[in-house]
Amino acid sequence: MKRGQIEIIGLLMVVILISVIMLVALWFIIKPESDSLTVQRKGIEGKSILLTLMQTNYDRDRSFKDMIVECSKYDLVDAEHCNNSGVKDEIEVILNLIFNNKEYAFEIKKEVSVGNFISVIQIGSPITNPCRVNNVANHANINVDVVEKVSATLVLCSSTF
């Protein structure tokens, strides 16, 4: 082989190698996110937000967790206590700032007898069906207080497209 032919073959191999690298990179760029990973990320995000919210101070001496446990001690007749104390409004302001026009639902429940729950605080759509038709609901639950049997649920709605 002549020297010019060897150089052309080398140049052709470099062009083919660069083309393959660009195709692989393009495949990773265009490839949609995995649905299972998206659901897991949303679940982790929801749980992190709930845990952080419970540790956030409502006032100097008490956290939201303390205030919610205090609210949950009232019975159904006094259930408006949480709404009148400002806890619900403060939580709603915080969640609206975090989600900024995204769909979500938030609920604090207390188990009053085996399997029976009352809603202490509810913000947004009902937890049973919080999202619009084309959206997927990702639920995150935490126990706020095990002794008082109080739990918090946050549902994040994300588009299926």
DSSP states along 13-81: HHHHHHHHHHHHHHHHHHSPPPHHHHHHHHHHHHHHHHHHHHHSBSSSS-BHHHHHHHHHTS-GGGTHH
Nearest of 87, 103, 117 to residue 46 by alpha carbon: 103
The C-alpha angle 143, 89, 66, rounded to 5 degrees, equals: 35
Residue 91 has pLDDT above 90, yes or no: no
What mean pLDDT is reported for the chain?
Answer: 79
Q: Which residues contact 22 (CB under 8 A, 6 or more apart)?
A: none
Furthest CA-CA distance within the chain: 97
| Whether this model's pTM surpasses 0.75 | no
Tens of pLDDT, residue by residue over 13-70, are 999 999 999 999 998 888 766 566 666 777 788 888 888 888 888 777 888 888 888 7
DSSP state of 103: -
When pLDDT is averaged across residues 89-118 and rounded to a whole number, the result is: 81
Determine the pLDDT at residue 85: 66
Nearest of 69, 64, 55 to residue 92 by alpha carbon: 64
Enumerate the β-bridge partners of residue 123.
106
User: CB–CB of 65/55 below 8 Å?
Assistant: yes
Determine the pLDDT at residue 46: 84
Q: Provide the CA 72 distance to its chain's centre, in angstroms.
A: 24
Q: Give buried/exposed letters for 123-145 (b at 16+ CB in 10 A, else e).
A: bbbebeebbeeebebbebebebb
Give the H or E element holding residue 99. Answer: helix 87-99
